[in-house]
Amino acid sequence: MRPLEGVTVVDFSQFLAGPYAALRLLDLGARVIKIENPDRGDLCRHHYVSETCVDGDSTLFHAINRGKESVTLDLKTEAGHAAARRLIERADVVIQNFRPGVIDRLGLGYEAAATLRPGLVYGSISGYGEAGEWAGLPGQDLLAQARSGVMWLSGNRGQGPVPVGLPIADIAAGACLAQGLLAALYRQARTGEGTHVQTSLLEALIDLQFEFLTTWLSNGQRPPERLQHGSAHGYLAAPYGVYDTAEGHLAVAMMPLATLSDALDRPSLAAQLAGLEAFADREAIRERLQEVLITRPAAEWEATLSAKGIWCARVRSWAEMRTEGGPAVTGMLHAGGELARVAAPFRIDGARPMPVARGPVLNEHGAALAREFGFDPV
């Protein structure tokens, strides 16, 4: 259940991307010591996504920092800097997401940290990499989405850019860093050699678009084309998309048109689709399918078509997913108490790591960590 038992992570990062990487290591058994600024701590403590808060901190903070230890250090003071060095000396992993150059000016960059702890695994997340015109720009999720091209992939034609309604750049970058850190820990265990793992919000968003970007770079740079309605994938042919029904919406995935026509039991539809090309005539095909699918509720279509081997799904809400999704959902979503919990998205030997409910109070572990690591409380 805890393959990273005994691994100590010292995390200087804040907000989402870096802390998400640390969270994944924590779920695998690592100990995570979160370094926070004495002046109100991690920005995420005060970034409210709703009116709900616990112990004066946002639910967002608790979700991303559950189970971690908190100590406040002012890295611009000698005492704070000395304490940080003592923590690094006994760390297996260090994570930071300052703007490029800041951690080096603080004297805690990779080269300095590796001198303190030979064999150290060190992870860095930036907004747009360490060089180039964008390097010094704010590494914020919505801004990274805007600069990456990803906003042109969602929504329908004519809508303009549509941002993904999740901090997808932060979470993806954190996942990329965690993957690199795990590989570096494997090398550390085999050879004792240290590693500096680097990624950025922009690189993570490019990776999420690798399928589309590979196509775009290979087809004369013809961009994907969003449909007028129900658009879902700009490079996939009809019938791929989301359709209105008499009640609710139905998503239809990749499927030969002839097979779908047979399953719909509409001989006239087959005749209408004859001669149309699945990609070139996507709009016309969609209009004809929509005329049929609007006649019955999505739940009926899902049951009927799925039984005939058609890849389709009724579009569900969170509540419906929770009710119908089975063990994959109930194993991850845990309500009750002052704060719900979302568990790790993986199982080890059949068991899922169970998370604690909340993150730490600011500097909750400061005194205990000072005694353990041998520095003066700051």
Residues carrying an active site annotation: 170
Q: Phi and psi for 7 in degrees, rounded to 5?
A: -85, 130
User: Where do the H-state alpha helices sit in 274-326?
Assistant: 282-293, 298-307, 318-324
Omega before residue 239 within 30° of 0, cis: yes
Q: How far apart are CA 241 and CA 298, in angstroms?
A: 14
* Cα separations in angstroms, 261 against 202, 219, 267, 274, 320: 42, 30, 7, 10, 29
Rg (CA), the chain: 25
Q: Is the dihedral of CA 198, 204, 207, 212 positive or negative?
A: negative
Kindly tell me the burial class for residue 148, based on how many C-beta atoms sit within 10 Å of its own C-beta (0-12, 13-18, 19 or more): buried
Q: Report the C-alpha gap between 356 and 224 in whole angstroms.
A: 43
Q: Considering all CA atoms of the chain, what is the largest pairwise distance in Å, rounded to the nearest integer?
A: 81
